[in-house]
Structure 1
Amino acid sequence: MAQLYFRFGAMNASKSIQLLTVAHNYEQSGKKVLVFTPAIDDRYGVGKVASRVGISREAIPISDDTDIFAIVAGEEGRPHCVLVDEGQFLGKQHVEQLVKIVDELDIPVIVYGLLKDFKNQLFPGSAHLLCEADKIEEIKTVCVYCNKKATHILKFKDGRPVYTGETIEIGGNDTYSSVCRRHYYHPPVAY
């Protein structure tokens, strides 16, 4: 029986590389996978899942009007698995479509993404995934300042931590850092 998995972690927790590894493993076994990623994340190009270690692959971009269920159901030769990167950027309708893929097409769906934004609030896509996922799994990484588990994302502007502003600003290590709770609220003066 297929399930909806939500695998979340802070930045640099290896979410994208894990997705790419899962896709590779399915394909090495002769099984078909479909990979999706929100079009808003265009750091490496629209419709591309890329890891910071340099591995990438093409993916089907998701915009507000994308019907993921229709794409999967219309695919010639049903996929054995559906993989989604950057799940925090999904809309409620997309999460509902993923549930439908699992429940009606009996295809497992694995979604990778951030849980919270730099304001320490759940991303809307992540909140919907937490409500609907059959399995919720944390992918862990460590704080950039110490060896505690990173649970928060710290955003920087001009080298200083900020806690307000636009929730979605696509960026990498130059803009965001994964930190523990203590260093989120009390970051070192100089980074």
Structure 2
Amino acid sequence: MAKLYFYYASMNAGKSTTLLQADFNYRERGMRTMLWTAALDDRAVGKPIASRIGLEAEAHRFDAATDLWAEVSRAHADTPLDCILIDEAQFLTKEQVWQCARLADQAGIPVLCYGLRTDFQGELFAGSAALLGIADALVELKAVCHCGRKASMNLRVDGAGNPVAEGAQTEIGGNERYVALCRRHFREAIGKT
């Protein structure tokens, strides 16, 4: 029975690397995968999914208007798919998460979603909230805070490295804009009591 999985973590936990490894494992066994990532993340200079350790792959891009059920079903009818892998899953809409569940339930295709759980203010992203609510399996990937504890929060910083506590929920960036911290150091950095 196919399942909907949500692999979540803070920044720098290896989500994209883990996705690319899972894709490799499927393809190495002669299975067909379909990769997706958020269209708004345009940092990758060659291929849409790129990890910090240098792995990369081609992927379809989704935005809020993408009908994942229709797009994947069309491809699956042409050549059966064995797995769907979605990077930056926090940017899925609630409806798209339900489409992923339908792909697992009705089409019988495992759907592996990888993304952040919370934003720079500790608030859930819409896609992450839906995935936490309905995914069959939740897997937390671990990053490490500078103190050695598990990093579960994403601190946004400005160009000088100072904490940013307000702003738009989505601002694309990497190590120059975000620091993964444990909850204690996150609270201290933004002055949250």
TM-score over 0.5 for the alignment?
yes
Secondary structure of the structure 2 residue equivalent to 1:66: coil
Letter in 2 for 1:61: R
Contact 1:47 1:60 (8 Å CA) reproduced: no
Secondary structure of the structure 2 residue equivalent to 1:110: strand
Deviation at 1:45, TM superposition (A): 5.0
Contact 1:72 1:78 (8 Å CA) reproduced: no
2: CA distance between counterparts of 1:96 and 1:45?
31
2: CA distance between counterparts of 1:64 and 1:169?
16
TM-score, normalization: structure 1?
0.94
Q: Deviations over 1:81-124 (max 9, x none)?
A: 00000100111121011011011101100000000000010111
Task: Please name the residue that 1:135 is paired with.
Answer: 137
Task: Please name the residue that 2:64 is paired with.
Answer: 64
Quick one: percent identity of the two aligned structures? 43
Deviation at 1:73, TM superposition (A): 1.1
Contact 2:32 2:82 (8 Å CA) reproduced: yes
TM-score, normalization: structure 2?
0.93
Aligned residue pairs, count: 187
Alignment of 1:1-191 (within 5 A): 1-44=1-44, 48-75=48-75, 76-143=78-145, 145-157=146-158, 158-187=160-189
In the TM superposition, structure 1's runs of 4+ consecutive aligned residues that sit over 3 Å from their partners are none
2: CA distance between counterparts of 1:69 and 1:183?
40
Letter in 1 for 2:154: I
Deviation at 1:149, TM superposition (A): 0.4
Deviation at 1:187, TM superposition (A): 3.4
Secondary structure of the structure 2 residue equivalent to 1:74: helix
Q: Name stretches of at least 5 consecutive residues in structure 2 with no aligned partner.
A: none
Label 1:135 to 1:102 Cα distance change in 2 as closer, same or farther (>3 A).
same
Secondary structure of the structure 1 residue equivalent to 2:6: strand
1: CA distance between counterparts of 2:82 and 2:48?
20
Q: Deviations over 1:25-54 (max 9, x none)?
A: 100100000000110111115971110111
Deviation at 1:162, TM superposition (A): 1.3
2: CA distance between counterparts of 1:48 and 1:166?
23
